[in-house]
Amino acid sequence: MAEDIKAKLDQYRTAPFDARFPNQNQTRNCWSNYLDYHRCQKALNAKGVDTTPCEWYRRVYKSLCPVGWIEKWDGQRDDGSFPGKI
């Protein structure tokens, strides 16, 4: 399992098509993957498990989201004012 995930991460170039977000506007896709990454990190850290599977979400949101949004959201999470449920 871990080898399969690592192989996919090594071959990763850009965000693949996601049928949940068929339109050109990828804002919601960006938001979902940002939340999924941080939820995954939180859940796997709580279990004391390796967080390598979460890297997929990080790579997707890094390729879809503008840097300004990511910086803003990271700042909001640090301040405790982030609007999403993680």
Pick the CATH number of 26-85 from 3.40.50.970, 1.10.10.140, 3.40.50.920, 3.40.50.12660: 1.10.10.140
pLDDT at 2 over 80: no
pLDDT of residue 9: 59
Radius of gyration in angstroms for the set of CA atoms belonging to the chain, rounded to a whole number: 14
Q: Kindly report the pTM of this predicted structure.
A: 0.80
Amino acid type, 85: K
pLDDT digits (tens, 9 = 90+) for 4-51: 766 665 666 677 777 777 778 889 999 999 999 999 999 999 999 999
Q: What are phi and psi of 36, to 5 degrees?
A: -60, -40
**Contact at 8 Å (CB) between 6 and 51?**
no
pLDDT digits (tens, 9 = 90+) for 58-69: 999 999 999 999
- SS3 state of residue 59: helix
